[in-house]
Structure 1
Amino acid sequence: MHTLPLTLVVMTYNEAKNIARCLDSVPFAAEKVVIDSGSTDDTVAIAQAHGARVVRQDWLGFGPQRNFATTQAGNDWILALDADEYLTPALAGEIAAKLPALMAGDTCAVWLRRATIYMGAPMRFYLPSMGEKMARLYHRDRARWADVRVHESLRFDGPAVTFQARFNHENNPSLPEKQIKVLRYAELKCRDWLEKDKPVRMWQTPFVFALAFLKDYLFRLAFLDGWRGYAIAQTAASYAVYKRMRYYEMRRNPASIESGAAALHRHGIDR
Protein backbone atom coordinates (compact mmCIF):
# COMPACT_ATOMS: atom_id res chain seq x y z
CA MET A 1 0.00 0.00 0.00
CA HIS A 2 1.42 3.37 -1.01
CA THR A 3 1.99 6.00 1.68
CA LEU A 4 -0.01 9.19 2.03
CA PRO A 5 1.02 12.57 3.50
CA LEU A 6 -0.85 11.68 6.68
CA THR A 7 0.24 11.53 10.32
CA LEU A 8 -1.13 8.87 12.64
CA VAL A 9 -1.25 10.22 16.21
CA VAL A 10 -1.73 7.95 19.24
CA MET A 11 -1.76 8.99 22.91
CA THR A 12 -0.37 6.40 25.31
CA TYR A 13 0.24 5.52 28.92
CA ASN A 14 1.30 1.92 29.60
CA GLU A 15 -0.13 0.53 26.35
CA ALA A 16 2.54 -2.09 25.63
CA LYS A 17 -0.08 -4.76 24.90
CA ASN A 18 -1.93 -2.62 22.34
CA ILE A 19 0.37 -0.13 20.64
CA ALA A 20 1.95 -2.41 18.01
CA ARG A 21 -1.43 -3.56 16.68
CA CYS A 22 -2.65 0.04 16.48
CA LEU A 23 0.43 1.33 14.65
CA ASP A 24 0.65 -1.58 12.24
CA SER A 25 -2.99 -1.16 11.21
CA VAL A 26 -2.16 2.10 9.40
CA PRO A 27 0.46 1.07 6.81
CA PHE A 28 -0.24 4.04 4.54
CA ALA A 29 0.68 6.77 7.05
CA ALA A 30 3.85 8.62 6.07
CA GLU A 31 4.41 9.48 9.74
CA LYS A 32 3.42 7.89 13.04
CA VAL A 33 3.66 9.89 16.27
CA VAL A 34 3.07 8.57 19.78
CA ILE A 35 2.44 11.10 22.56
CA ASP A 36 3.40 9.29 25.74
CA SER A 37 2.57 10.63 29.21
CA GLY A 38 5.12 8.67 31.24
CA SER A 39 4.69 4.98 30.53
CA THR A 40 6.55 2.64 32.87
CA ASP A 41 6.17 -0.46 30.70
CA ASP A 42 7.60 -1.14 27.23
CA THR A 43 5.22 1.14 25.35
CA VAL A 44 7.92 3.55 24.15
CA ALA A 45 10.33 0.86 22.95
CA ILE A 46 7.57 -1.05 21.14
CA ALA A 47 6.26 2.11 19.50
CA GLN A 48 9.71 3.01 18.24
CA ALA A 49 10.28 -0.52 16.97
CA HIS A 50 7.07 -0.21 14.95
CA GLY A 51 8.09 2.99 13.23
CA ALA A 52 6.71 5.69 15.51
CA ARG A 53 8.38 8.85 16.73
CA VAL A 54 7.71 9.17 20.45
CA VAL A 55 7.11 12.55 22.08
CA ARG A 56 6.95 12.66 25.87
CA GLN A 57 4.34 14.99 27.32
CA ASP A 58 2.88 15.06 30.83
CA TRP A 59 -0.85 14.49 30.84
CA LEU A 60 -2.85 17.65 30.07
CA GLY A 61 -6.36 16.21 29.83
CA PHE A 62 -7.89 14.52 26.80
CA GLY A 63 -8.74 17.60 24.75
CA PRO A 64 -5.54 19.56 25.45
CA GLN A 65 -3.41 16.43 24.96
CA ARG A 66 -4.97 15.81 21.55
CA ASN A 67 -4.44 19.44 20.55
CA PHE A 68 -0.80 19.19 21.65
CA ALA A 69 -0.49 16.02 19.57
CA THR A 70 -1.77 17.91 16.54
CA THR A 71 1.12 20.38 16.86
CA GLN A 72 3.63 17.51 16.71
CA ALA A 73 2.42 16.21 13.33
CA GLY A 74 4.51 16.81 10.26
CA ASN A 75 1.50 16.60 7.91
CA ASP A 76 -1.69 18.63 7.67
CA TRP A 77 -3.92 15.56 7.60
CA ILE A 78 -4.09 13.63 10.87
CA LEU A 79 -5.62 10.31 11.90
CA ALA A 80 -6.19 10.13 15.68
CA LEU A 81 -6.54 6.68 17.21
CA ASP A 82 -6.43 5.42 20.78
CA ALA A 83 -3.94 2.66 21.51
CA ASP A 84 -6.75 0.13 21.98
CA GLU A 85 -8.20 0.96 18.56
CA TYR A 86 -7.06 -0.27 15.15
CA LEU A 87 -8.15 -0.06 11.54
CA THR A 88 -9.68 -3.03 9.81
CA PRO A 89 -8.11 -3.89 6.43
CA ALA A 90 -11.33 -2.70 4.79
CA LEU A 91 -11.09 0.76 6.36
CA ALA A 92 -7.37 1.00 5.68
CA GLY A 93 -8.14 0.32 2.02
CA GLU A 94 -11.00 2.81 1.94
CA ILE A 95 -8.88 5.59 3.43
CA ALA A 96 -5.98 4.88 1.08
CA ALA A 97 -8.33 4.97 -1.91
CA LYS A 98 -10.48 7.99 -1.03
CA LEU A 99 -8.27 10.34 0.97
CA PRO A 100 -6.09 11.67 -1.90
CA ALA A 101 -9.14 13.24 -3.56
CA LEU A 102 -10.26 14.79 -0.26
CA MET A 103 -6.82 16.24 0.32
CA ALA A 104 -7.17 18.21 -2.88
CA GLY A 105 -10.41 19.84 -1.70
CA ASP A 106 -11.68 21.79 1.29
CA THR A 107 -12.90 18.90 3.44
CA CYS A 108 -12.43 19.52 7.16
CA ALA A 109 -12.85 16.04 8.56
CA VAL A 110 -13.93 12.47 7.91
CA TRP A 111 -16.41 10.58 10.07
CA LEU A 112 -15.27 7.03 10.75
CA ARG A 113 -17.43 4.23 12.13
CA ARG A 114 -16.23 2.39 15.24
CA ALA A 115 -17.17 -1.16 16.18
CA THR A 116 -16.64 -2.43 19.72
CA ILE A 117 -15.20 -5.70 20.97
CA TYR A 118 -16.48 -6.28 24.51
CA MET A 119 -15.78 -9.21 26.83
CA GLY A 120 -13.76 -10.84 24.11
CA ALA A 121 -16.26 -10.69 21.24
CA PRO A 122 -17.82 -8.09 18.92
CA MET A 123 -21.10 -6.59 20.03
CA ARG A 124 -23.82 -7.65 17.56
CA PHE A 125 -26.79 -5.36 18.27
CA TYR A 126 -25.95 -2.56 20.76
CA LEU A 127 -26.17 0.49 18.52
CA PRO A 128 -23.23 2.59 19.82
CA SER A 129 -20.97 -0.43 19.37
CA MET A 130 -22.09 -1.32 15.86
CA GLY A 131 -20.90 1.73 13.96
CA GLU A 132 -20.62 4.77 16.21
CA LYS A 133 -19.63 7.75 14.04
CA MET A 134 -16.54 9.56 15.26
CA ALA A 135 -14.56 12.36 13.60
CA ARG A 136 -11.01 11.04 13.82
CA LEU A 137 -9.50 11.95 10.43
CA TYR A 138 -9.07 15.70 9.91
CA HIS A 139 -7.13 18.64 8.51
CA ARG A 140 -5.38 20.32 11.41
CA ASP A 141 -6.00 23.87 10.14
CA ARG A 142 -9.74 23.24 9.77
CA ALA A 143 -10.58 21.37 12.96
CA ARG A 144 -9.66 21.45 16.66
CA TRP A 145 -10.37 19.29 19.69
CA ALA A 146 -12.54 20.75 22.45
CA ASP A 147 -10.38 21.81 25.40
CA VAL A 148 -12.05 19.58 27.98
CA ARG A 149 -10.52 17.07 30.38
CA VAL A 150 -12.66 14.14 29.19
CA HIS A 151 -15.25 13.23 26.53
CA GLU A 152 -13.50 15.44 24.01
CA SER A 153 -14.84 15.88 20.48
CA LEU A 154 -13.48 17.32 17.28
CA ARG A 155 -14.92 20.73 16.41
CA PHE A 156 -15.09 22.01 12.85
CA ASP A 157 -17.32 24.21 10.75
CA GLY A 158 -17.16 23.04 7.17
CA PRO A 159 -17.60 20.06 4.85
CA ALA A 160 -17.14 16.53 6.13
CA VAL A 161 -17.67 13.08 4.65
CA THR A 162 -18.37 9.64 6.11
CA PHE A 163 -16.47 6.47 5.28
CA GLN A 164 -18.33 3.18 5.48
CA ALA A 165 -15.80 0.59 6.66
CA ARG A 166 -15.18 0.31 10.39
CA PHE A 167 -12.31 0.49 12.82
CA ASN A 168 -12.26 -1.67 15.95
CA HIS A 169 -12.16 -0.75 19.61
CA GLU A 170 -10.97 -3.35 22.11
CA ASN A 171 -13.15 -1.91 24.85
CA ASN A 172 -11.74 -2.58 28.33
CA PRO A 173 -10.62 -6.22 28.17
CA SER A 174 -11.90 -6.78 31.72
CA LEU A 175 -14.47 -5.26 34.07
CA PRO A 176 -11.78 -4.14 36.56
CA GLU A 177 -10.18 -2.10 33.76
CA LYS A 178 -13.57 -0.61 32.94
CA GLN A 179 -14.16 0.39 36.56
CA ILE A 180 -10.75 2.04 36.71
CA LYS A 181 -11.68 4.07 33.63
CA VAL A 182 -15.02 5.01 35.21
CA LEU A 183 -13.21 6.44 38.24
CA ARG A 184 -10.78 8.33 36.06
CA TYR A 185 -13.38 9.78 33.70
CA ALA A 186 -15.73 10.76 36.53
CA GLU A 187 -12.96 12.64 38.31
CA LEU A 188 -12.06 14.56 35.16
CA LYS A 189 -15.68 15.37 34.38
CA CYS A 190 -16.27 16.64 37.90
CA ARG A 191 -13.25 18.94 37.62
CA ASP A 192 -14.78 20.44 34.48
CA TRP A 193 -18.10 20.92 36.30
CA LEU A 194 -16.32 22.65 39.17
CA GLU A 195 -14.68 25.13 36.83
CA LYS A 196 -18.07 25.88 35.26
CA ASP A 197 -19.77 26.08 38.70
CA LYS A 198 -22.46 23.66 37.59
CA PRO A 199 -25.39 23.26 40.02
CA VAL A 200 -25.37 19.98 41.97
CA ARG A 201 -28.99 18.81 41.57
CA MET A 202 -28.62 15.56 43.51
CA TRP A 203 -32.40 15.08 43.40
CA GLN A 204 -32.01 14.01 39.78
CA THR A 205 -29.72 11.10 40.63
CA PRO A 206 -32.30 8.27 41.10
CA PHE A 207 -33.97 9.23 37.82
CA VAL A 208 -30.61 9.50 36.05
CA PHE A 209 -29.81 5.86 36.79
CA ALA A 210 -33.15 4.60 35.52
CA LEU A 211 -33.14 6.73 32.38
CA ALA A 212 -29.50 5.96 31.52
CA PHE A 213 -30.07 2.23 31.96
CA LEU A 214 -33.25 2.20 29.89
CA LYS A 215 -31.66 4.29 27.14
CA ASP A 216 -28.86 1.78 26.63
CA TYR A 217 -30.64 -1.45 27.50
CA LEU A 218 -33.86 -0.89 25.57
CA PHE A 219 -33.60 1.97 23.10
CA ARG A 220 -30.02 1.26 22.06
CA LEU A 221 -30.80 -2.49 21.89
CA ALA A 222 -28.20 -3.66 24.43
CA PHE A 223 -30.69 -6.32 25.61
CA LEU A 224 -30.25 -8.15 22.30
CA ASP A 225 -26.60 -8.80 23.23
CA GLY A 226 -27.66 -10.79 26.30
CA TRP A 227 -25.81 -10.44 29.57
CA ARG A 228 -23.00 -8.49 27.89
CA GLY A 229 -25.59 -5.90 26.93
CA TYR A 230 -26.89 -5.84 30.50
CA ALA A 231 -23.35 -5.25 31.77
CA ILE A 232 -22.83 -2.34 29.38
CA ALA A 233 -26.12 -0.69 30.33
CA GLN A 234 -25.58 -1.17 34.06
CA THR A 235 -22.03 0.19 33.91
CA ALA A 236 -23.13 3.25 31.94
CA ALA A 237 -25.95 3.98 34.37
CA SER A 238 -23.66 3.52 37.38
CA TYR A 239 -21.15 5.94 35.84
CA ALA A 240 -23.89 8.54 35.34
CA VAL A 241 -24.80 8.26 39.04
CA TYR A 242 -21.27 8.04 40.44
CA LYS A 243 -20.01 11.20 38.78
CA ARG A 244 -22.95 13.13 40.24
CA MET A 245 -22.29 11.75 43.74
CA ARG A 246 -18.60 12.59 43.41
CA TYR A 247 -19.41 16.11 42.27
CA TYR A 248 -21.76 16.54 45.23
CA GLU A 249 -18.93 15.42 47.52
CA MET A 250 -16.50 17.90 45.95
CA ARG A 251 -18.93 20.76 46.53
CA ARG A 252 -20.01 19.54 50.00
CA ASN A 253 -16.46 18.77 51.21
CA PRO A 254 -13.79 20.59 49.15
CA ALA A 255 -11.03 18.77 51.04
CA SER A 256 -12.10 15.60 49.25
CA ILE A 257 -10.85 17.02 45.95
CA GLU A 258 -7.19 16.69 46.85
CA SER A 259 -7.58 13.56 48.97
CA GLY A 260 -9.44 11.84 46.13
CA ALA A 261 -6.85 12.95 43.60
CA ALA A 262 -4.07 11.63 45.84
CA ALA A 263 -5.82 8.25 46.16
CA LEU A 264 -6.20 7.96 42.39
CA HIS A 265 -2.55 8.92 41.93
CA ARG A 266 -1.39 6.21 44.34
CA HIS A 267 -3.16 3.64 42.19
CA GLY A 268 -2.05 5.15 38.88
CA ILE A 269 -5.57 6.20 37.85
CA ASP A 270 -4.94 9.91 37.45
CA ARG A 271 -3.69 9.95 33.83
Structure 2
Amino acid sequence: MTTPRITLFIIAHNEEAKLAKCILSTKGLVHEVIVVNDRSQDRTEEIARELGAIVFSRDFDGFANQKNFALSKVNGDWALNLDADETLSPALKEEIRRTVQNTPHSGFNIPFSNYFLGKKMNHSGLNKEHHLRLVRTKNAHYVGGLVHEGLEVKGTVGNLKNAINHYSYDSIEIYFRKLNHYTSLAAEQMYKNGRKFSLPFVLITIPFEFLKRYLLKLGVLDGIRGFIWASFSAFYVFVKYMKLWFLWEKRSV
Protein backbone atom coordinates (compact mmCIF):
# COMPACT_ATOMS: atom_id res chain seq x y z
CA MET A 1 0.00 0.00 0.00
CA THR A 2 1.35 3.42 -0.96
CA THR A 3 1.79 5.76 1.98
CA PRO A 4 -0.44 8.83 1.52
CA ARG A 5 1.48 12.08 1.19
CA ILE A 6 0.52 14.95 3.53
CA THR A 7 1.16 18.61 2.80
CA LEU A 8 1.16 21.28 5.48
CA PHE A 9 -0.02 24.70 4.31
CA ILE A 10 0.12 27.96 6.23
CA ILE A 11 -0.96 31.51 5.40
CA ALA A 12 1.25 33.99 7.19
CA HIS A 13 1.92 37.67 7.82
CA ASN A 14 4.80 38.78 10.07
CA GLU A 15 5.04 35.43 11.87
CA GLU A 16 8.80 35.16 12.42
CA ALA A 17 8.36 34.53 16.16
CA LYS A 18 6.19 31.42 15.80
CA LEU A 19 6.52 30.00 12.30
CA ALA A 20 9.51 27.75 12.98
CA LYS A 21 7.86 26.08 15.97
CA CYS A 22 4.76 25.40 13.90
CA ILE A 23 6.62 23.86 10.97
CA LEU A 24 9.01 21.83 13.13
CA SER A 25 6.09 20.33 15.07
CA THR A 26 5.02 18.55 11.85
CA LYS A 27 8.46 17.14 11.04
CA GLY A 28 8.32 13.45 10.18
CA LEU A 29 4.64 13.63 9.27
CA VAL A 30 4.35 15.97 6.29
CA HIS A 31 6.12 15.57 2.96
CA GLU A 32 5.77 19.17 1.88
CA VAL A 33 5.25 22.60 3.44
CA ILE A 34 3.52 25.45 1.60
CA VAL A 35 3.65 28.97 3.04
CA VAL A 36 1.63 31.78 1.46
CA ASN A 37 3.20 34.99 2.67
CA ASP A 38 1.20 38.22 2.79
CA ARG A 39 4.05 40.69 2.19
CA SER A 40 5.61 40.22 5.63
CA GLN A 41 8.06 42.88 6.80
CA ASP A 42 9.98 40.52 9.08
CA ARG A 43 11.89 37.24 8.53
CA THR A 44 8.80 35.10 7.88
CA GLU A 45 9.77 34.23 4.30
CA GLU A 46 13.42 33.65 5.16
CA ILE A 47 12.58 31.31 8.04
CA ALA A 48 10.10 29.38 5.91
CA ARG A 49 12.66 28.83 3.16
CA GLU A 50 15.36 27.83 5.68
CA LEU A 51 13.03 25.08 6.91
CA GLY A 52 12.41 23.79 3.38
CA ALA A 53 9.02 25.35 2.73
CA ILE A 54 7.82 26.40 -0.70
CA VAL A 55 6.91 30.07 -0.37
CA PHE A 56 4.42 32.07 -2.41
CA SER A 57 3.83 35.82 -2.02
CA ARG A 58 0.24 37.01 -2.25
CA ASP A 59 -1.60 40.09 -1.00
CA PHE A 60 -4.30 39.19 1.51
CA ASP A 61 -7.83 39.53 0.11
CA GLY A 62 -9.74 37.40 2.60
CA PHE A 63 -9.09 34.17 4.48
CA ALA A 64 -11.08 31.99 2.08
CA ASN A 65 -9.27 33.30 -1.01
CA GLN A 66 -5.86 33.11 0.64
CA LYS A 67 -6.39 29.53 1.79
CA ASN A 68 -7.86 28.42 -1.53
CA PHE A 69 -4.74 29.74 -3.22
CA ALA A 70 -2.58 27.79 -0.77
CA LEU A 71 -4.70 24.67 -1.28
CA SER A 72 -4.25 24.96 -5.05
CA LYS A 73 -0.48 24.63 -4.57
CA VAL A 74 -0.70 21.44 -2.49
CA ASN A 75 0.76 18.31 -4.10
CA GLY A 76 0.00 15.85 -1.32
CA ASP A 77 -2.93 13.45 -1.13
CA TRP A 78 -3.94 15.08 2.14
CA ALA A 79 -3.75 18.76 3.13
CA LEU A 80 -3.18 19.84 6.73
CA ASN A 81 -3.82 23.49 7.54
CA LEU A 82 -2.22 25.19 10.53
CA ASP A 83 -1.84 28.81 11.53
CA ALA A 84 1.65 29.94 12.48
CA ASP A 85 0.70 30.04 16.18
CA GLU A 86 -0.44 26.40 16.19
CA THR A 87 1.51 23.17 16.71
CA LEU A 88 0.95 19.42 16.60
CA SER A 89 1.67 17.26 19.61
CA PRO A 90 3.57 13.98 19.07
CA ALA A 91 0.34 12.12 19.91
CA LEU A 92 -1.62 14.01 17.25
CA LYS A 93 1.09 13.42 14.66
CA GLU A 94 0.95 9.70 15.29
CA GLU A 95 -2.86 9.69 15.20
CA ILE A 96 -2.85 11.48 11.84
CA ARG A 97 -0.20 9.14 10.45
CA ARG A 98 -2.24 6.06 11.41
CA THR A 99 -5.59 7.51 10.36
CA VAL A 100 -4.77 8.52 6.78
CA GLN A 101 -3.41 5.05 6.00
CA ASN A 102 -6.88 3.59 5.63
CA THR A 103 -9.99 5.71 6.06
CA PRO A 104 -13.22 6.25 4.12
CA HIS A 105 -13.45 9.87 5.29
CA SER A 106 -12.58 12.94 3.21
CA GLY A 107 -11.70 15.10 6.17
CA PHE A 108 -11.22 15.24 9.93
CA ASN A 109 -12.22 17.67 12.63
CA ILE A 110 -9.44 18.24 15.14
CA PRO A 111 -9.99 19.52 18.70
CA PHE A 112 -8.04 22.52 19.99
CA SER A 113 -6.17 23.26 23.20
CA ASN A 114 -6.22 27.05 23.45
CA TYR A 115 -3.60 28.96 25.42
CA PHE A 116 -4.13 32.54 26.59
CA LEU A 117 -1.38 34.61 28.18
CA GLY A 118 0.77 31.51 28.59
CA LYS A 119 -1.77 29.16 30.16
CA LYS A 120 -4.24 26.63 28.79
CA MET A 121 -7.87 27.71 28.99
CA ASN A 122 -10.12 24.92 30.25
CA HIS A 123 -13.38 26.87 30.05
CA SER A 124 -14.51 30.30 28.74
CA GLY A 125 -15.97 28.76 25.58
CA LEU A 126 -12.50 27.71 24.45
CA ASN A 127 -12.45 24.15 25.75
CA LYS A 128 -14.70 22.48 23.18
CA GLU A 129 -13.38 24.15 20.04
CA HIS A 130 -12.66 22.01 17.00
CA HIS A 131 -12.05 22.72 13.33
CA LEU A 132 -11.84 20.86 10.04
CA ARG A 133 -8.10 21.03 9.34
CA LEU A 134 -7.15 17.74 7.66
CA VAL A 135 -8.73 16.98 4.27
CA ARG A 136 -8.25 15.04 1.07
CA THR A 137 -6.78 17.70 -1.17
CA LYS A 138 -8.93 17.08 -4.23
CA ASN A 139 -12.16 17.03 -2.20
CA ALA A 140 -11.76 20.37 -0.39
CA HIS A 141 -12.60 24.00 -1.00
CA TYR A 142 -12.89 27.11 1.19
CA VAL A 143 -15.95 29.34 1.18
CA GLY A 144 -16.57 32.68 2.86
CA GLY A 145 -15.53 36.30 2.73
CA LEU A 146 -12.90 38.39 4.48
CA VAL A 147 -13.43 36.56 7.77
CA HIS A 148 -15.01 33.34 9.04
CA GLU A 149 -13.91 31.12 6.20
CA GLY A 150 -15.37 27.62 6.06
CA LEU A 151 -13.78 24.49 4.66
CA GLU A 152 -16.10 22.24 2.70
CA VAL A 153 -15.34 18.70 1.57
CA LYS A 154 -17.00 16.18 -0.71
CA GLY A 155 -17.52 13.12 1.43
CA THR A 156 -17.80 12.26 5.10
CA VAL A 157 -15.93 13.90 7.96
CA GLY A 158 -14.47 12.07 10.92
CA ASN A 159 -13.11 13.25 14.27
CA LEU A 160 -9.64 12.96 15.74
CA LYS A 161 -9.03 12.73 19.49
CA ASN A 162 -5.74 14.54 20.06
CA ALA A 163 -5.64 18.33 19.94
CA ILE A 164 -3.84 21.07 18.06
CA ASN A 165 -2.08 23.42 20.48
CA HIS A 166 -3.09 27.02 19.77
CA TYR A 167 -0.87 29.74 21.28
CA SER A 168 -2.85 32.70 20.02
CA TYR A 169 -2.17 35.50 22.50
CA ASP A 170 1.10 35.46 24.43
CA SER A 171 0.64 39.05 25.60
CA ILE A 172 -2.07 41.68 25.89
CA GLU A 173 -0.27 43.78 23.29
CA ILE A 174 -0.54 40.95 20.76
CA TYR A 175 -4.23 40.53 21.55
CA PHE A 176 -5.01 44.16 20.78
CA ARG A 177 -2.96 44.16 17.59
CA LYS A 178 -4.99 41.20 16.37
CA LEU A 179 -8.24 42.69 17.68
CA ASN A 180 -7.70 45.82 15.61
CA HIS A 181 -7.07 43.77 12.47
CA TYR A 182 -9.93 41.29 12.88
CA THR A 183 -12.54 43.82 13.95
CA SER A 184 -11.74 45.88 10.84
CA LEU A 185 -12.20 42.83 8.62
CA ALA A 186 -15.42 41.85 10.41
CA ALA A 187 -16.87 45.36 10.15
CA GLU A 188 -15.97 45.59 6.47
CA GLN A 189 -17.62 42.23 5.79
CA MET A 190 -20.81 43.27 7.61
CA TYR A 191 -20.82 46.55 5.71
CA LYS A 192 -20.44 44.76 2.37
CA ASN A 193 -23.30 42.47 3.37
CA GLY A 194 -25.53 45.49 4.05
CA ARG A 195 -25.64 44.98 7.82
CA LYS A 196 -26.93 48.14 9.52
CA PHE A 197 -25.68 49.48 12.85
CA SER A 198 -28.16 49.21 15.71
CA LEU A 199 -27.34 50.82 19.05
CA PRO A 200 -30.01 48.87 21.03
CA PHE A 201 -28.62 45.62 19.63
CA VAL A 202 -25.08 46.58 20.67
CA LEU A 203 -26.21 47.62 24.16
CA ILE A 204 -27.73 44.17 24.65
CA THR A 205 -24.98 42.18 22.95
CA ILE A 206 -21.96 43.58 24.81
CA PRO A 207 -23.01 42.59 28.37
CA PHE A 208 -24.43 39.30 27.10
CA GLU A 209 -21.07 38.43 25.52
CA PHE A 210 -19.31 38.98 28.84
CA LEU A 211 -21.86 37.01 30.86
CA LYS A 212 -21.87 34.18 28.31
CA ARG A 213 -18.09 33.78 28.49
CA TYR A 214 -17.66 34.36 32.20
CA LEU A 215 -20.70 32.61 33.67
CA LEU A 216 -22.44 30.39 31.10
CA LYS A 217 -19.14 29.13 29.67
CA LEU A 218 -17.61 28.96 33.17
CA GLY A 219 -14.82 31.42 32.49
CA VAL A 220 -14.85 32.14 36.22
CA LEU A 221 -13.09 28.77 36.64
CA ASP A 222 -10.21 29.99 34.46
CA GLY A 223 -9.31 32.56 37.12
CA ILE A 224 -8.09 36.00 36.16
CA ARG A 225 -7.53 34.85 32.57
CA GLY A 226 -11.18 33.88 32.34
CA PHE A 227 -12.21 37.34 33.49
CA ILE A 228 -9.82 39.01 31.05
CA TRP A 229 -10.99 36.81 28.16
CA ALA A 230 -14.66 37.53 28.86
CA SER A 231 -13.97 41.26 29.13
CA PHE A 232 -11.90 41.32 25.95
CA SER A 233 -14.55 39.30 24.10
CA ALA A 234 -17.17 41.91 25.01
CA PHE A 235 -14.82 44.70 23.98
CA TYR A 236 -14.24 42.94 20.65
CA VAL A 237 -17.98 43.14 19.97
CA PHE A 238 -18.00 46.83 20.91
CA VAL A 239 -15.10 47.71 18.60
CA LYS A 240 -16.47 45.67 15.71
CA TYR A 241 -19.83 47.43 15.77
CA MET A 242 -18.31 50.87 16.31
CA LYS A 243 -16.26 50.32 13.16
CA LEU A 244 -19.42 49.27 11.35
CA TRP A 245 -21.13 52.45 12.56
CA PHE A 246 -18.22 54.54 11.30
CA LEU A 247 -18.31 52.93 7.86
CA TRP A 248 -21.98 53.90 7.48
CA GLU A 249 -21.25 57.32 8.97
CA LYS A 250 -18.59 58.03 6.35
CA ARG A 251 -21.02 57.03 3.63
CA SER A 252 -23.63 59.54 4.82
CA VAL A 253 -21.19 62.47 4.87
Task: Give the shorter-chain TM-score range.
Answer: over 0.9
Name the SS of the counterpart of 1:125 in structure 2: coil
Q: Is the contact between residue 4 and residue 30 of structure 1 (CA under 8 Å) also seen in structure 2?
A: no
Q: Is the contact between residue 4 and residue 76 of structure 2 (CA under 8 Å) also seen in structure 1?
A: no
The residue identity in structure 1 corresponding to 2:72 is T
The offset of 1:196, in angstroms, is: 1.3
Residue 18 in structure 1 maps to residue 15 in structure 2: no
The offset of 1:8, in angstroms, is: 0.2
Aligned to 2:8: 8
Aligned to 2:91: 90
Aligned to 1:64: 65
Aligned to 1:243: 240
Q: Deviations over 1:125-174 (max 9, x none)?
A: 3342x341111111233232123111222123531000000110112111
The residue identity in structure 2 corresponding to 1:101 is N
Name the SS of the counterpart of 1:254 in structure 2: helix
Residue 172 in structure 1 maps to residue 164 in structure 2: no
Aligned to 2:186: 189
Q: Deviations over 1:54-112 (max 9, x none)?
A: 1111112111101111111112411000000000111011101111112xx3x221000
In 2, the alpha carbon distance for the partners of 1:125 and 1:184 equals: 25
Name the SS of the counterpart of 1:249 in structure 2: helix
The offset of 1:255, in angstroms, is: 8.5
Q: Is the contact between residue 77 and residue 139 of structure 1 (CA under 8 Å) also seen in structure 2?
A: yes
Unaligned segments of structure 2, at least 5 residues: none
In 2, the alpha carbon distance for the partners of 1:215 and 1:95 equals: 34
The runs of at least 4 aligned residues of structure 1 exceeding 6 Å deviation read none
Q: TM-score, normalised by structure 1?
A: 0.87
In 1, the alpha carbon distance for the partners of 2:210 and 2:183 equals: 17
Q: Deviations over 1:216-242 (max 9, x none)?
A: 111111110111000111111111121
Identity of aligned residues (%): 29
The offset of 1:192, in angstroms, is: 1.2
Name the SS of the counterpart of 1:164 in structure 2: coil
- Seen in structure 2, the aligned counterparts of structure 1 residues 251 and 127 have a Cα distance that, compared at 3 Å, is closer
In 2, the alpha carbon distance for the partners of 1:255 and 1:198 equals: 15
Residue 159 in structure 1 maps to residue 159 in structure 2: no
Give the alignment partner of residue 204 of structure 1, picking from 182, 188, 201: 201
Give the alignment partner of residue 218 of structure 1, picking from 212, 215, 218: 215
Unaligned segments of structure 1, at least 5 residues: 257-271
The residue identity in structure 2 corresponding to 1:246 is K
Aligned to 1:118: 116
In 2, the alpha carbon distance for the partners of 1:179 and 1:219 equals: 24
Q: TM-score, normalised by structure 2?
A: 0.93
Q: Is the contact between residue 4 and residue 78 of structure 2 (CA under 8 Å) also seen in structure 1?
A: no
The number of residue pairs the alignment matches comes to 251
- Seen in structure 2, the aligned counterparts of structure 1 residues 58 and 208 have a Cα distance that, compared at 3 Å, is same
- Seen in structure 2, the aligned counterparts of structure 1 residues 16 and 94 have a Cα distance that, compared at 3 Å, is same
Aligned to 1:269: none
In 1, the alpha carbon distance for the partners of 2:201 and 2:50 equals: 50
Name the SS of the counterpart of 2:82 in structure 1: strand
In 2, the alpha carbon distance for the partners of 1:204 and 1:82 equals: 33
Aligned to 1:50: 51
